[in-house]
Amino acid sequence: MEQYIVSARKYRPATFDMVVGQRALTTTLLNAIRTGKLAHAYLFCGPRGVGKTTCARIFAKTINCQNLGANGEPCGVCESCRAFEEGRSMNIHELDAASNNSVDDIRELIDQVRIPPQIGRYKVFIIDEVHMLSQQAFNAFLKTLEEPPHYVIFILATTEKHKILPTILSRCQVYDFQRITIKSTVDHLKYVAEKEGYQVEDEALALIAQKADGGMRDALSIFDQMVSFTGGNVTYESTLQNLNILDSEYYFRIVDNMLNKDVESSLVLFNEVTERGFDGGNFIAGLASHFRNLLVSRDAKTLPLLEVSEAQQQRYHEQAMRCKPQFLYKAIKLCNDCDLGYRQSRNKRLQVELCLIQSTQSTDDDGAGAGLCPAKILKPIFKIQPQEKPAPAPKKEKSKPVTPHVTPAAEKPALRTLNLNSTSIRKKSENAPVAQEDDIQTDTQSEVAENGQLELDALILAWQQFANRLPKAEVTTAQRMRTITPQLIDQHHFSVTVNNPLIEKDLTKLRPKIESYIKHQCHTQVSMEIHVAPPEVAIKTYSKPDQFKLALQDSSAFRILHELFSLELA
């Protein structure tokens, strides 16, 4: 049985022309060899698996070749080339600095430097993972690196350039290797598949290239794994299954649901993703990348930034043309915020579901610059049947205190369910940006119906919304306002009762803004009265758990949200 050799070793480049994805760098090295302008020390930097050590070996082989070709490539038949191929060359020495990083190891290397080459012109020392050398080893190496014998060339390789001492960097010519593009990786994998007689799909190779993240060695290792899994018939579905990658089809379907304003289908689809074992954080990161791909596929100038197969490019372009740029900006911002807050969130699933709901609702926003600061406000997603408007209560005198009528939960109008903004149980309120003072100003030019009537539910909602929009400087006042429930006096007047003069003073100062805001929200003229409760009258203040329980009792819509999203009290 023939000995098996992994693809990463079997198809390792033997000449500069075979190196994938580093054309500019290999051209520079070839030109230096042709003109004889060789430096005494080189530093090859870059991610893992992009060809640093391979290029170092090719360089060492080429400069010692006795019969260089016209293109500067080694002949492969001379004694020096054959000795290199057979692994018996005495002119090339490799040192793994990860396991040989002491001063003694460097001193031994320096002793070998003193011996001139027996065959060929140069003695080449390749030090891999050079950043692993100790401080003392670096210091012992400095003098030799700066002034080696004329027949010695050092090639240092590292994945972490920032850990190299400046004194080492200043003595070397630095070459930065790039990550290999997805297209270059796919083309090389196709070449390997043809040589080996495997059947492959382009979409499957694109997935492997994306998983390798720019490293050819990783791509070939994954390719070998897929060949073993499929028996030589590498398909898109089998690659998804073996590598546990979330199919991009889910993201296309999610965006289609958003464009159709179908929140429910998006939530069900996300549930299907989680049931397959995928983490919500990975899902939201993938969704953000999908929105980014849609954004860059809208324009021919940015289309090269989309590193997918041609069939995928066409599909991205078709969906992107159905999306407004403002929607894509805003969706990317929402996904990025969700990704940042995912790990800190106590209810991670709800974090993702809120992002999906907000992204769906952002399709309605056509405002300029909509993606810069998306408002974190949820619109109603459940359709509530309109109920008949109750007959207006008879007008009452201002001098007589009025006790608000408590309507049974089943008979309350649908607007009552929106009073959830008044409590602190909202999952995203802690992260929502605090509005500036200008945000609470209303449009004085808007029309207000003179014959409008003030309703208790609308009044409470506007009151709590005003409290939520107060700036950070008035956070104490906002907290106090959330514990106060305004009471109707008549169709255009309401009162609030506070338990100390300090709160009265703060509300009196804000009174014009409060009246203006409620007037704008309720579309009617309003006037507010502020009363301080006598010391013997106790005003009950509900704790957060009490507010949560009351909301569950009073609101059927909130109970639906509680069961659907598994809401918890923060």
Q: Answer whether 335's CB lies under 8 Å from 352's CB.
A: no
Instruction: Give the DSSP H or E segment for 458.
Output: helix 456-468
Alpha-carbon span 342 to 431, nearest angstrom: 12
Alpha-carbon span 268 to 35, nearest angstrom: 65
Structure tokens at 474: 């008035």
CA angle centred on 503, ends 501 and 508, rounded to 5°: 90
What's the order of all strands across the beta sheet hosting 92-96?
Answer: 92-96, 123-128, 152-158, 41-45, 173-176
Q: Answer whether 64's CB lies under 8 Å from 121's CB.
A: yes
Each residue's pLDDT expressed in tens, for the chain with a length of 570 residues? 467 888 888 888 888 888 888 888 888 888 888 888 888 999 999 888 888 889 998 898 888 888 887 777 788 788 888 888 888 888 888 888 888 888 888 888 888 888 888 777 888 999 988 888 888 888 888 888 888 888 899 999 998 888 888 888 888 889 999 888 888 888 899 899 888 888 888 888 888 888 888 888 888 999 988 888 888 888 888 888 788 778 888 899 999 999 998 889 999 999 998 888 888 888 999 999 999 999 998 887 887 788 777 778 888 888 999 998 899 999 999 999 999 888 888 888 999 999 999 998 887 654 444 444 444 455 555 444 445 455 555 544 444 444 444 444 434 333 333 333 433 333 333 444 444 444 444 443 334 444 567 788 888 888 888 988 888 788 888 888 888 889 888 888 899 998 888 888 888 988 999 989 888 888 888 899 998 887 654 456 667 777 777 777 777 777 777 777 777 776
Q: Give DSSP secondary structure letters for 42-106.
A: EEEE-STTSSHHHHHHHHHHHHT-SS--TTS---S-SHHHHHHHTT--SSEEEEETTT--SHHHH
Q: Answer whether 471's CB lies under 8 Å from 434's CB.
A: yes
Q: Is beta strand 493-498 parallel, antiparallel or unpaired with respect to 487-490? A: antiparallel
Structure tokens at 76: 């492969």
**Which residue type occupies 342?**
Y
525 three-state secondary structure: coil
Q: What is the pLDDT of residue 287?
A: 92
Structure tokens at 510: 């804000």
Alpha-carbon span 291 to 443, nearest angstrom: 35
Alpha-carbon span 316 to 365, nearest angstrom: 22
Instruction: Give the DSSP H or E segment for 291.
Output: helix 280-296
567 three-state secondary structure: coil
Q: How far is CA 304 from CA 62, 260, 291, in A?
A: 35, 29, 16
Q: How far is CA 84 from CA 60, 91, 279, in A?
A: 9, 9, 48
Alpha-carbon span 54 to 157, nearest angstrom: 10
Q: Provide CATH 3.30.300.180 ranges for the chain.
A: 414-425+450-541
Q: Which of 91, 111, 101 is nearest to 133 (CA)?
A: 101
Q: Answer whether 454's CB lies under 8 Å from 488's CB.
A: yes
Q: Provide CATH 3.40.50.300 ranges for the chain.
A: 7-176
Please name the fold of domain 182-243. Answer: Helicase, Ruva Protein; domain 3 (1.10.8)
Class for the domain spanning 7-176: alpha beta
Q: Provide CATH 1.10.8.60 ranges for the chain.
A: 182-243
Q: Provide CATH 1.20.272.10 ranges for the chain.
A: 248-364
Alpha-carbon span 46 to 51, nearest angstrom: 9
Domain 414-425+450-541, architecture per CATH: 2-Layer Sandwich (3.30)
The pTM of this model reads: 0.56
Q: Which of 171, 136, 137, 167 is nearest to 154 (CA)?
A: 171
Q: Give DSSP secondary structure letters for 124-142.
A: EEEEETGGGS-HHHHHHHH
| Candidates 1.10.3720.10, 3.40.50.800, 3.40.50.620, 1.20.272.10; CATH matching 248-364 | 1.20.272.10
Q: Which of 157, 98, 90 is nearest to 124 (CA)?
A: 90
